[in-house]
Amino acid sequence: MCSVSHRAFRRPSERLIGRASLPPRAESGAALLAVLVIIVVIAGSSASFIWFMNQQQTRAGARLRSAAALAVAEAGVHRALSVLESVAPDGSPGRIWRPAAYSDVVPEGPFEGRFTLSLTGQDDGAIVITSVGEVAGTTRRLRARVYLASPALLAGLYGTSHIRLERPPAATVVLSYGAGIGDRPWVHIAAGMGVWFATTDVSINDPSVAFAAGPGPVDAPDGSGSATQPRRPGPIRLLLANGADLMLGQGSGFQRVDVQQLRAMGVYLDGVVVRAESLPRLPVVDGAYYQSLAAGNTGNAALNEAAGRYLGDADLARKRDSLYSREEFEEVRTYLHAGVQSSGFRGVVYVKGVASVLAGQRIKIADGALVAEGTVHLGEGAELEVTHSAATRTLPGIITLGEGALVISRDARLRAHGIVYASGTISVAQGARVDIVGALLGDDGALSFRSVGASVVIRYDPAVMGTPGLRAKDDTPPVAWVAAWEELP
């Protein structure tokens, strides 16, 4: 018998199976390497994710602390405003409170914050509030420019004594300019002694009476496409001091009436009458401040030179400022009326005496004001325009000092932006037209405002609360008006 090994007779399938059950060492190492790579990738991704989440958490915390610090700084500004309208922490009047570094702690969410305040006065009467809010090492800084305004500036038409309307078609329209004043209440008319209707043919805010109004300081020159276009007159709020009356009739034959009686007699008066113990007093005008503005205003130097050469006045030709004597103002006015130059004044113009615009003459003042140490008088058919842009919106329009009145003669036209303030009587004659975007204030103790068959349109602009150079009297509780608010770096 042939001797043959049993191993030689194994089937081919058995031999293949045996070789596959023993993988090569190289293949085993590659698998291990792949596993390690996967582990490393997963570990790197996990680390990146954890780092990213930590960064997000850190940033979120920083944003939260920053927002909290800003809220604390805002709380500081509001604390300052509250003190300025009331009493300082040391018991002194709040209006004179000027701390260099007043600090207080306030809770803000999960944090305890601290604000530090400093208040400084400015030449124009403004108060600059700087508030630094700090929360968990994060600091934010705010600055607000504030004026302490008299509440009298919350009236569209204000008369210390009587407001008198007589002869048709004496029509008075008082409405808001633009969106209004926000959270501050305002009144259309305020009178210390009463509102006197000489006849039943006069009206206040009668929607059936047509009126014309020019563009305001934030409108396009032609007034088109503006959100501040005059709206339909609505009911009025009338503020009367205790003892003041609504009156109807001529001379000594007048009678005291109420709103219902006026309506029954044909006088259009829709609205409410509010009584107060006394009216808030008008602010004090800082004449020296306006003198300094006019002295520094060189915007009329070229006009002065041209007028001086035209009239042979060498002193006027050399004049650089806008602080005029009565005679100098009349010379420039004469030159403008001659038509040699079509432009008018620019900036604040201060006249040491009476300022007159003669019959048929036309004077324009752009981005400024007319301040006179006497009466401002518009002759028959004369025109005076004092207009502002958005940048000069808070300037006054016209101010008369001393006992100066504002006299607007027959068929004259006054168009002004800002406060129109007369120490004496404001008198508007038959056929005259008055268009004011701001407020009209008369301080005469007997007759503050008189309209005789004139058209008077007043669009109350809350920007008058921030008029520079006006200071609330010491016995008048002020209103803290924020004119500007910004965050500091």
pLDDT in tens, 63-120: 888 999 999 999 999 999 999 999 999 999 999 999 999 999 998 778 889 999 999 9
Average pLDDT over residues 263-278: 80
Length of the chain: 489
pLDDT value at 15 more than 50: no
Residues forming beta bridges with residue 183, ordered by sequence position: none
Of 94, 66, 92, 91, nearest to 80 by C-alpha is 94
Cβ 423 vs Cβ 404: under 8 Å: yes
**Residue 26: which pLDDT band, with cuts at 50, 70 and 90?**
low
Q: Is the pLDDT of residue 270 over 70?
A: yes
Q: In this predicted structure, what is the pLDDT of residue 23? A: 58
Question: Residue 47: CB partners within 8 Å, gap ≥ 6?
Answer: none
Strand partners, 385: 364, 415
Classify residue 174 as left (phi > 0), alpha (psi -120 to 50) or beta.
beta
* Residue spans of alpha helices (H) in 202-273: 259-264
Written in H, E and C, the secondary structure of 284-353 is: EECHHHHHHHHHCCCCCHHHHHHHHHHHCCHHHHHCCCCEEEHHHHHHHHHHHHCCCCCCCEEEEEEEEC
Asked if pLDDT for residue 16 goes beyond 50, the answer is no
What integer is the mean pLDDT of 411-435?
A: 97
CB of 83 closer than 8 Å to CB of 95: no
Tell me the Cα Rg of the chain: 38
CA distance 247 to 255: 6
- Give residue-wise pLDDT tens across range 351-373: 999 999 999 999 999 999 999 99
Average pLDDT over residues 176-180: 75
pLDDT band at 60, cuts 50/70/90?
low
| pLDDT exceeds 70 at position 477 | yes
Beta-ladder partners of 467? none
Lowest model confidence (mean pLDDT) among 54-58, 436-440, 458-462: 54-58
Angle at 290 between CA 284 and CA 294, to 5 degrees: 170
pLDDT class of 481 with cuts at 50, 70, 90: very high
Name the least confident of 161-165, 195-199, 251-255: 251-255
> At 280, which amino acid appears?
P
The band of 13, judged by pLDDT with boundaries at 50, 70 and 90, is very low
Burial of 12 (0-12, 13-18, 19+ CB in 10 A): exposed
SS3 387: strand
Token code pair at residue 201: 């043919």
Confidence check: pLDDT of 20 > 50: no
Q: For residues 284 and 441, give the distance between their C-alpha atoms in angstroms, rounded to a whole number.
A: 12
Rounded Cα gap, residues 69 and 52, in angstroms: 25
pLDDT in tens, 395-404: 999 999 999 9
**Lowest pLDDT segment from 165-174, 261-270, 356-365, 393-402:** 261-270
pLDDT at 79 (0 to 100): 96
What is the reported pLDDT for 398? 98
Look up the pTM and report it: 0.85
What is the model's pLDDT at position 8? 46
Average pLDDT score, the chain: 88
DSSP 87: B
273-324 pLDDT, tens digit each: 888 888 999 999 999 999 999 999 999 999 999 999 999 999 999 999 999 9
Dist. CA 200–CA 265, nearest whole Å? 7
Q: Which residues of 384-413 are buried (b: 16+ CB within 10 A; e: fewer)?
A: bbbbbeeebbbbbbbbbbeebbbbbbbbbb
pLDDT bin (cut points 50, 70, 90) of residue 35 is confident
pLDDT above 90 coverage of the chain, percent: 64
pLDDT by residue (tens digit) across 199-255? 888 888 888 888 888 899 988 776 555 555 667 788 888 999 998 999 988 877 788
Give the C-alpha separation, 135 to 70, whole Å.
9
